[in-house]
Each structure stands twice: as C-alpha cells, then as structure tokens.
C-alpha cells in the first residue's frame, strides 16, 4: 500500500531508471539491438524490479505517464548512442495492455520518435499474446497504424499465452521473442527443446525475426546456433545494465 503512494512521486523525483540489455547477433558476434527494462530506485527499499511495481502502475493508471517517459527516454538514449557511432539497429520497449488501450498511443510513439529524431524502424515495441487477444479491434487498429509508420512489433514471451497461432497471419508482426522458460529447461525436458526448435522454424516459415530470451549457457547458444536462431539475449552475454555500463560494453565490442 505504501509502495503505491511512493510510486506517485517516483516519476517527478526521478527515481525511475531504465536498464538496457543487449541483443546479440551470434553469427556476427556483435550487439545489434537493445531492450529497455524499467527499474525503480526506491529511496529506502533500493532497486525494485518491474514485476513488483508494474502491476501497481497498471491498477493506478500510473503506467500511462510512466510508459510515456520510458518511450521518450529510450528513444533519446538510442539517438545518443547512434550519434556516438554505435551501430545499433533497434531499441525495444515493452508495452502493457493498459498502455495499448489508451487511444493516443500512436501519437505518443510518433512524438517520442520525432523528439529524438529517430527513424520509426529503429523502435520495436514488445507486446504479449495476452494483450493481443484482450482487445482485438483497438489493438489491431493501433498495430496497423504503428506498422504503417514503420515501427516494428515483437511478440514477447512467445509461446506462453492463450492465443491461437492464427493471429500471426493477420497481424503486422515483425519478431517473435521465444519465452525464456522454454530454453531454460531444454536439457531436462525434451518437450521444451522441441518447442524452442518449432518456434524458430515457425518464425522462419512466416518470414519473421526470432530472438531467443534467457540465453544463459554455452549449451543454449549452441542449441540455438545449430537451429539457425542468430539473435540472442540473456545473462550469458549480459544482464540488463545502466546506460553507462552499456556504452562501456559496446566500446569493448567494436
Ligand atoms: O527486467 P525484468 O526481467 O525484471 O522485467 C520483468 C517484466 O517487466 C518483464 O515482463 C518486462 O516485460 C516488464 N517490463 C520491463 N520494463 C517495462 C516497461 O518499461 N514497461 C512495461 N509495461 N513493462 C516492462
Ligand atoms: O518479459 P520480458 O521478456 O520483457 O522480460 C525480460 C526479463 O527477463 C527481464 O526481467 C530480464 O531482467 C530477464 N532476463 C534477461 N535475461 C535473462 C536470462 O538470461 N535469464 C533469466 N532468468 N532472466 C533474464
Ligand atoms: Mn520484453
Ligand atoms: Na520475454
């Protein structure tokens, strides 16, 4: 309850921070993209993970101003990195259902891009399958508008939702992000290995990009490379980190 009161002040008191996690193209062995992951640097409780406050932000509708801030901040950060010469192709930003249901989302995205001076195709928005089934009409309309603008759309945690696969052919999707739970048990559970492989093939056959999440070990990397999944994200390469640390990582990378 107290956390809720604190969250109202978090934005103006500049306690929210964005951490950045690299996305690696393993065939080229370099960082090609980055995902923005929100954190709350609480004055007394320390760094709080989004699982603990995004639900509160959604209930209180604080997710609207917070989400707008994340979008702007992430776009400005990417622009700054591009100007410094880092060859990143995209910044991924997570959106929750509540954000997608606001009718000015398109304008917010357009605004964040133009304020930063970024091309729309350098922004990728991550949505979950559950968000897509929740509000089909409005979701579809907004997705089409964003797609027409040139923004990319990824399905996050792919394979864990309750949706049918049918939406993949009717919605303007660019990328599938394989949920980390599948990869993490490929060794102990044969089914998870089969699902991971099948998602890679599904993406290829539908002409979509595929990113594996939760890549933690050399075995994971090998499993994915052998099956043609080049884009990887996970602790094996790097945890989410501050913007300064991320720039430092790219300096060593280039
Ligand atoms: O970084 P971490 O693994 O703790 O993130 C946990 C969850 O919080 C993930 O599901 C992620 O999608 C979500 N999340 C992280 N940052 C944001 C954000 O800026 N907006 C929204 N809506 N969700 C976020
Ligand atoms: O739901 P979403 O995919 O947006 O959130 C990604 C979450 O996964 C973040 O909270 C991030 O901190 C976490 N994460 C990133 N890489 C790894 C990893 O290799 N292993 C695990 N267990 N979590 C990871
Ligand atoms: Mn994500
Ligand atoms: Na995910």
Which of the listed residues 7, 54, 154 should we mutate to test ligand 1's pocket, taking the one with most ligand atoms within 8 A of CB? 54
CB atoms within 10 A of CB 56: 15
pLDDT tens-digit map of 75-133: 999 999 999 999 999 999 999 888 888 889 999 999 999 999 999 999 999 999 888 87
Give the per-residue pLDDT at 64: 95
Q: Report the distance separating Cα 89 and Cα 123, nearest Å.
A: 9
pLDDT of residue 136: 73
Q: How far is the CA of 214 from the centre of ligand 2 (A)?
A: 6
What's the Cα-to-Cα distance from 19 to each of 127, 161, 173, rounded to whole Å? 18, 26, 25
Atom of ligand 1 nearest to the CA of 70: 19
Distance 213 CA to ligand 2 centre (A): 7
User: How far is ligand 1, taken at its centre, from the CA of residue 54, in Å?
Assistant: 7
CA pseudo-torsion sign 128, 100, 70, 67: negative
The ligand placed nearest to the CA atom of residue 125 is: 3
Two structure tokens written together for 46:
């320390």
The domains located in the chain, with CATH, are 21-38+62-253 (3.20.20.450)
134 Cα to the center of ligand 2, angstroms:
24
Per-residue pLDDT at 175: 97
- Proximal ligand: closest to the CA of 131: 1
- Structure pTM? 0.96
Q: Provide the pLDDT for residue 87.
A: 93
Cα of 82 vs centre of ligand 1, distance in Å, is 24
Torsions phi, psi for 152 (to 5 deg)? -95, 150
- The number of beta carbons lying within 10 Å of the beta carbon of residue 83 is 9
Ligand 2, atom 15, residue with closest C-alpha: 234
Alpha carbons 221 and 231: distance in angstroms, whole number: 10
| 157 Cβ inside 6 Å of ligand 2 | yes
For helices 63-83 and 50-59, angle between their N-to-C axes, nearest 10 degrees? 130
Quote the pLDDT of residue 254.
52
Token pair in block for residue 3: 């956390």
pLDDT beneath 70, residues of the chain:
1, 253-254
Neighbour tally for 254: CB within 10 Å: 9
Pocket test for ligand 2, best of 180, 218, 231 (most atoms within 8 A of CB): 180
The best mutation among 17, 38, 98, 238 to test binding of ligand 1, ranked by most ligand atoms within 8 Å of the C-beta, falls on 38
């Amino acid at each position: 309850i107290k956390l809720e009161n604190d969250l109202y002040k978090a934005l103006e008191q500049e306690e929210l921070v964005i951490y950045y996690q690299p996305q690696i193209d393993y065939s080229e062995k370099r960082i090609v993209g980055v995902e923005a992951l929100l954190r709350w640097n609480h004055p007394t409780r320390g760094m709080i993970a989004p699982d603990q406050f995004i639900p509160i932000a959604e209930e209180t509708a604080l997710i609207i101003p917070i989400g707008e801030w994340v979008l702007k901040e992430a776009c400005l950060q990417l622009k700054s990195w591009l100007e410094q010469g880092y060859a990143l192709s995209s910044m991924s930003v997570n959106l929750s259902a509540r954000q997608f249901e606001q009718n000015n989302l398109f304008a917010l995205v357009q605004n964040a891009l133009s304020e930063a001076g970024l091309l729309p195709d350098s922004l990728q928005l991550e949505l979950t399958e559950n968000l897509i089934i929740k509000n089909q009409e409005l979701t579809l309309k907004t997705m089409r508008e964003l797609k027409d603008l040139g923004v990319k759309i990824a399905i996050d945690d792919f394979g864990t939702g309750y949706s049918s696969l049918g939406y993949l052919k009717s919605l303007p999707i660019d990328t599938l992000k394989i949920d980390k739970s599948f990869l993490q048990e490929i060794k102990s559970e044969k089914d998870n290995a089969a699902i991971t492989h099948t998602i890679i093939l599904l993406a290829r056959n539908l002409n979509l990009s595929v990113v594996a999440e939760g890549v933690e070990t050399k075995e994971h990397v090998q499993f994915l490379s052998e099956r043609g999944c080049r884009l990887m994200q996970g602790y094996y390469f790097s945890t989410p980190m501050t913007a300064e640390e991320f720039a430092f990582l790219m300096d060593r990378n280039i």
